[in-house]
Structures are given as structure tokens and as C-alpha cells.
Amino acid sequence: MSYPASTSIAVEDATKLFTLRYQRTLKQMSVAKLKGREVSDTFKALDGVTFNVEQGESIGLMGLNGSGKSTLLKLIHGVMRPDTGRVLTRGRIAGLIATGAGFHPQLTGRDNVYLNAAILGMTEQETRRKFDAIVEFADVGRFLDTPVGNYSSGMFARLGFSVAVHVDSDIFLADEVLAVGDRPFKKKCMEKMQEIRRSGRTLVYVSHSAGSVRKMCDRVIVLEKGVVGFDGEAAAGIRYLKYDEDQGDRADEQDAEDEEIGADI
């Protein structure tokens, strides 16, 4: 099936299976088999998911934990492939789909900027040109030349997000990127993502926060146990989930305060 040039992401009947193993060692598996017990099982993280995204759309990907959101984001990013169906994308993809993804813990923050940028498709010349802006946005200060294995989760997030937002991309993916980091950084992230949205890039944003999805996204796709339960206007999607926006915002503020206590090395 062909798609018009305006289509940014096309997900066609995508299914992804995972295997659950109940025993860890070969001996345990052998004993379990002799006793007639199950040693493994499979489940569908995604089951026949289909939707299209036009270039420049801002999509909020929502659902309860375990609904398949992060798996779908990884299929779009290309980190995983569907077992059946297809996931097609047009243009360069950037974003933060896991805190510290692509970082080497024994390398310094400086070295990891170049490493992560290369993974995201930036040339060394492009990274050098944007290096100062990346470092300024990440605000890791004197820890730039410290191995990132010593970083807090907040510092990991700041550096990873900073590299990702400075990639010239057509599609930007963000998986709970604002869940880690102190309040000023979360605000800076939101402002940067608004810039990305206004630039005409396609944005796919995974979040449990009704307030931020309402501000960032025009459309919401809700996953329920691996299938699309809702696909439509953002406010209607939030109502479909029965999320209480006020409670969610208060929880976000409390999380930010908790993170501030342990945000430094």
C-alpha cells in the first residue's frame, strides 16, 4: 500500500509478541518439564495496531501501564520490528525513548554527547557545531567530563534529552521524558517541545499527564492491552481514559519536588 507524501508514520496491523520464561536456569527448566509444568508463555504487547500520522501532527500516546505504549514507540523508532504487520516512517527520527539509552556508562558526558548524536544520525561536524548548545541545555556543569555511570537519573535525562532535541529531525518521539528531572528542567523541556511542535515536525508524546498532553497534542491514541481503544481529538481521549487532570497535575508537582531532593550527584 502506498501513502501520500504528507504521511509521516504508517502503522499497518502491527503485532509484537514477547516470551515470558518462568524458570531462569536450564536445570530449573528441565525439572519443570519433567513435572509437566509450563516453562514459558507468550503474550501480545501489541495486537493488530493500525493508524496513520500526518506530517506535523502532535500525537499523545496514552494508556495504562502495560498497554503497549513504549513497545509501539520502539517500533516507530526502529529499535524493534513487528512480528507481523508493518511500521513505516518518513524522514529522520529523533527523541528520547528511554533514560540514558545509547549512553556508555564508562564514558564521560562529553564523549557520550558525540556517541549518542552519532547514533541519532548526526555527523561529527554537526555535533561540534551544536555542542555548546547541547551542553548549555543539559546543564550538567562540571560533571560533563565525569563518567555518566556516576550521573543521577535526572542528569541522564537532561543530557539525553538535550542531544535528542538538537537533532534536525522530521519525527520526534518522547517517552515520559518529563518524568525525570527537577521542575525547572521539566519546564524547559516543555518549552522546547512546543518549539518542535511549532516547527512542523511530527511529535509522538507518551505521557500519563492529562495536562501536558492537552497542551502539547492535537490528537490522542489510547492503547488498551495492546489494541487501539481510542483515536481522536485530545480532550476526548483524556475523557475516554477518565483521567482527572487536576489530580494528575498535583501529582506531577509532587514528583518534581521529590526529584529535586536527589537530582544531583
Of 125, 141, 169, which closes a domain? 169
Is there a single domain that holds both residue 177 and residue 152? no
Number of Cα atoms under 13 Å in the Cβ half of residue 157: 20
Residues 217 and 250 in one domain: yes
85 plus 197 within the same structural domain: yes
Whether the pTM exceeds 0.85: the reply is no
User: Same structural domain for residues 75 and 204?
Assistant: yes
- Secondary structure of 165-200 in the HEC alphabet? HCCCCCEEEEECHHHCCCHHHHHHHHHHHHHHHHCC
112 and 209 part of one domain: no
Q: Computed over its alpha carbons, how large is the radius of gyration of the chain?
A: 20
At 16-38, the pLDDT tens digits run 998 766 556 666 666 666 766 66
pLDDT of residue 32: 61
Query: Residue 224 pLDDT > 80, yes or no?
Result: yes
- Which domain does 153 fall in, by range? 98-169
Question: Are both 263 and 235 inside the same structural domain?
Answer: yes
- What average pLDDT does this structure show over 3-24? 85
What whole-number distance in Å separates Cα of residue 94 and Cα of residue 203?
Answer: 10
**Bridge partners, 11 (sequence order):** 51, 87
Residue 124 has pLDDT above 90, yes or no: yes
Q: Is the alpha carbon torsion for 208, 211, 214, 217 positive or negative?
A: negative
Query: Among residues of the chain, what percentage have pLDDT more than 90?
Result: 47
How far apart, in whole angstroms, are the C-alpha atoms of residue 233 and residue 204?
A: 14
- How sure is the predictor about 257, in pLDDT bands with cuts at 50, 70 and 90? very low
Give the domain-ending residue among 122, 149, 169: 169
8 A C-beta contact, residue 76 and residue 89: yes
Q: Which of 138, 169, 200 is the last residue of a domain?
A: 169
Closest CA to 87 of 75, 99, 103: 75
- Rounded distance, CA 79 to CA 118, Å? 15
